Structure 1
């Protein structure tokens, strides 16, 4: 197929800084992607965007540069339910990567077993309307029931404003539920306001719900262009992530989100993102749980 990236799509940053924060041994980048390469793994005809290619070799080089030991590779919407690029990356990771797939109702048990052997440990349900077409909830619930026997979990991606209408569905899922990007809060609103309190309530009342405290570059209004140095980068997002880490230290994960799909105003420095970790997990114990204990328990145990 002809590869023409979506207009406005920013190329991922090729010169990430070396983080000053030294990651604890065994750290996991628990949310990242591979895109294509499109001549080997074509993008889905129904995709809502065409990204820049981002290969497994480039992902693994970034892993080593930043100081992570492992990756969790999440199926990207641009590949639809064709998981071949993600599975290929797992198969070349030497056991250092796990995967989250996208599957449809017609997936066979044989395919699920093969994905499990390759390292898949979850499926992703996307509820962000601008990225995917709506999948009926009964189909998603059927898929959740089938993957539960493998010990897999469900990753859900949604925007905070939609949580009230999704609450009943999320709380009925028969698996561990991992929420992407702190539930995408509107960081212009108070961290103790009613919208974010609803997400906190979800985690407090449902101990099977986890959260990734990732993507400040995606959520921030102030952005990385700090007027007074890096200490102010993405400062509007950090209180939301810090609150979840401190309230639910055994159910949080962190990831780069490389190569940062659908960003249009700036492309982040992944080294800077790593250096923000001590500001959301301020103690060594919280950092170890966030980066080592929790992801290894969920994906490698």
Structure 2
């Protein structure tokens, strides 16, 4: 693997929707810079640098105030790039780490001091080589106060994920709603199964994100809006939103982040819902102190 990819739009549009003051982009990443933070030897993709300066410039361009930076799989369990970006944010970013299941209490405390507030378990086989559920549960038992677990999986394994998620001893955030087929509609089998998961615990949250990944029809993402808006309305206190910049493995589409922001008022149609989605909910999870 030698070709380095670019998966982000060079000149994203200015969104028509103006986020409320204090809005949080609650799902984004940084890549590198590689000269300082090399990628994992097991990385499944090799992107060009997309560091904190680019991320914060995009934040300002889109009208957001804060970021939640999620460790990208290409960096493996080396969280230094994420911690560096948090450190450069002047207190306006927090993070989600990927850790070795054998991580010590001291290492977890160091991550906490660096602004990490959760860990991510990735079950996408095209991105990770294995996912040891028993070891994941063991590390979840040792997390610092007010941390949570982020779980990333696709809809075809939701049924087998149910028991594992039920045993996670801290709040759970599901990335991208478990990647449902939104073309099935709001009452389709994927969304119905995901609702059953949300109903199984009152501390399962989800990111209503990535229309560019989930709606192959593209803008204006009508299928995504139709499937996701009822989730925002029925679970208003448990939804988060983020750009997913710099859009790992989306090099064939190059999503326009301004267009993604303009989906927000279509899935959160009132000012109250927008405030919960963009401010109240992410602040509760990532800035509780």
Which category describes the TM-score, using the shorter chain as reference length?
over 0.9
Structure 2 residue 38 is matched with structure 1 residue 42: yes
Is the Cα–Cα contact under 8 Å of residues 253 and 291 in structure 1 kept in the other structure?
yes
Q: Deviations over 1:194-240 (max 9, x none)?
A: 2321110111221010010000001112013xxxxxxxx11111122
2:3 is matched with which residue? 5
Tell me by how many angstroms 1:18 deviates.
1.2
For 1:61-72, list aligned pairs within 5 A.
61-72=57-68
2:192 is matched with which residue? 197
Structure 2 Cα separation of the partners of residues 196 and 155 of structure 1: 19
Q: TM-score, normalized by length of structure 2?
A: 0.97
Structure 2 residue 19 is matched with structure 1 residue 32: no
Structure 1 Cα separation of the partners of residues 7 and 148 of structure 2: 31
2:130 is matched with which residue? 134
Gaps (5+ residues) in structure 2?
none
Structure 2 residue 97 is matched with structure 1 residue 101: yes
Structure 1 Cα separation of the partners of residues 57 and 63 of structure 2: 10
Structure 2 Cα separation of the partners of residues 102 and 300 of structure 1: 19
Q: Deviations over 1:3-48 (max 9, x none)?
A: 9435xx4441121111111111110000000001111100000111
For 1:175-214, list aligned pairs within 5 A.
175-214=170-209
Give the secondary structure class of the aligned counterpart of 2:27.
Answer: strand
Tell me by how many angstroms 1:97 deviates.
0.2
2:248 is matched with which residue? 261
Q: TM-score, normalized by length of structure 1?
A: 0.93
Tell me by how many angstroms 1:243 deviates.
1.7
Is the Cα–Cα contact under 8 Å of residues 26 and 68 in structure 1 kept in the other structure?
yes
Structure 2 residue 278 is matched with structure 1 residue 291: yes
Structure 2 residue 73 is matched with structure 1 residue 86: no
Give the secondary structure class of the aligned counterpart of 1:236.
Answer: helix
Structure 2 Cα separation of the partners of residues 181 and 83 of structure 1: 22
Give the secondary structure class of the aligned counterpart of 2:183.
Answer: coil
Q: Deviations over 1:101-143 (max 9, x none)?
A: 0001221211111110111000000011111111211100001
Structure 1 Cα separation of the partners of residues 276 and 197 of structure 2: 21
Is the Cα–Cα contact under 8 Å of residues 5 and 52 in structure 1 kept in the other structure?
no
Structure 2 residue 141 is matched with structure 1 residue 145: yes
Tell me by how many angstroms 1:186 deviates.
1.1
For 1:49-60, list aligned pairs within 5 A.
49-60=45-56
Give the secondary structure class of the aligned counterpart of 1:263.
Answer: coil
Structure 1 Cα separation of the partners of residues 96 and 107 of structure 2: 14
Gaps (5+ residues) in structure 1?
225-232
Is the Cα–Cα contact under 8 Å of residues 125 and 140 in structure 1 kept in the other structure?
yes
Tell me by how many angstroms 1:264 deviates.
4.0
Worse overlay, 21-30 or 149-158: 149-158
